[in-house]
A and B are shown apart, each in its own frame.
Chain A
């Protein structure tokens, strides 16, 4: 059939099953209100103000302002307090930071691989 020949026997029967199945409607279904929901979404007025962006930028500006204020008020220097302690263990802290970042990256990669079901 595929090569212009006329299949017979099991070949013909197998092709018959294949062609019948290919004509069969798959069972994928959308919700009954799909069309009206999508049409409403397409015609929804554009967002005039992005509150998420507002809070993100606002938060960052506020954080910087408080940081500058704190530095000014406490007359902060890196040789003070807890930073002197960090100085004696600098290698350990660098290693710890690199280890934690690497662990997160590895976890993200492995979990991403599993969740996509990409096991081919």
Chain B
């Protein structure tokens, strides 16, 4: 039995300290996932709480077919997406929509030259404007170091779609950054 299995089994038996440990171990993952998707710090804590309460409720059904972190990421992703749906924020199937790319890159005129750290802050702002599915795969890949299969499992997307979204999201960001860098030169 590995650490995750032992921890999950203690939590399922109702051990409060084990659950607290599980939360501490995975709160970074859940916060990143939920925070990136909902873009609203007011609701962040409440949704993260709901995610962990769902984890607690369902942990006895967890069968270790995947890593515990991937399973928790799945719950976090679904909660965040449901929250967006409740708030009637559009979660379209992702676009063959070339217009989105054009709008995204052309949106806001690049202003004067920006410093490197300002540029990183700008990219963070740009990420917020990407569709939720793009934000989810970027977060799981770059911040949580998950592989395509794990991201696919967490989000319910096929591996090919995960790769495609990563590619398109990074390319959109790169094109947008280029408009700023071009202005610097």
Chain A contacts to B: CB under 8 angstroms: 2, 10-11, 13-15, 17-26, 28-31, 34-43, 112-113, 116, 118, 120
Whether the Cβ atoms of B181 and A10 lie closer than 8 Å is: yes
Known contacts A2-B170, A2-B171, A30-B44, A116 near B119 by CB under 8 Å: no
Residues of B within 8 A of A41 (CB): 49, 53
Main secondary structure of the interface of B (DSSP, over half): helix
What is the bound-complex CA distance between A29 and B185, given in angstroms?
Answer: 36
**Are A39 and B23 in contact, CB atoms less than 8 angstroms apart?**
yes
Determine the distance from Cα of A17 to Cα of B23 in the docked complex, in whole angstroms.
Answer: 32
Give the tally of cross-chain contacts (CB within 8 A).
112
Chain A to chain B contacts (Cβ below 8 Å), 9 pairs:
A10-B181, A10-B182, A11-B174, A17-B120, A21-B173, A22-B143, A23-B142, A43-B19, A116-B89
Task: Closest A residue to B45 by CB, please name it.
Answer: A30
Cβ–Cβ contact A35 & B36, under 8 A:
no
Nearest residue (CB) in B for A18 is B173
By a CB distance below 8 angstroms, the chain A residues around B78 are none
Chain B residues within 8 Å of chain A by Cβ, number: 45
> Known contacts A17-B119, A43-B14: does B178 contact A26 (CB below 8 Å)?
no
Contact in complex: A35, B177 (CB < 8 Å): no
**B31 on interface, CB distance cutoff 8 Å:** yes
Chain B interfacial positions (CB closer than 8 Å to A): 14, 16-17, 19-20, 23-24, 27, 31-32, 34-36, 41, 44-45, 48-49, 52-53, 56, 87-90, 116, 119-120, 123-124, 127, 138, 142-143, 167, 170-171, 173-175, 177-178, 181-182, 185
- Looking across the interface, which residue of chain A has its beta carbon closest to that of B145? A23
- In the assembly, what is the distance between CA of A11 and CA of B155, in Å? 30
Distance to closest chain A CB from B113 (angstroms): 13
Q: Are B20 and A39 in contact (CB under 8 A)?
A: yes
Chain A binding site: helix, strand, loop or mixed by DSSP? helix
Instruction: Return chain B residues, CB-CB under 8 Å to A43.
Output: 14, 16, 19
Q: A28, A29, A31 — which one has the most chain B CB atoms within 10 A of its CB? A: A28
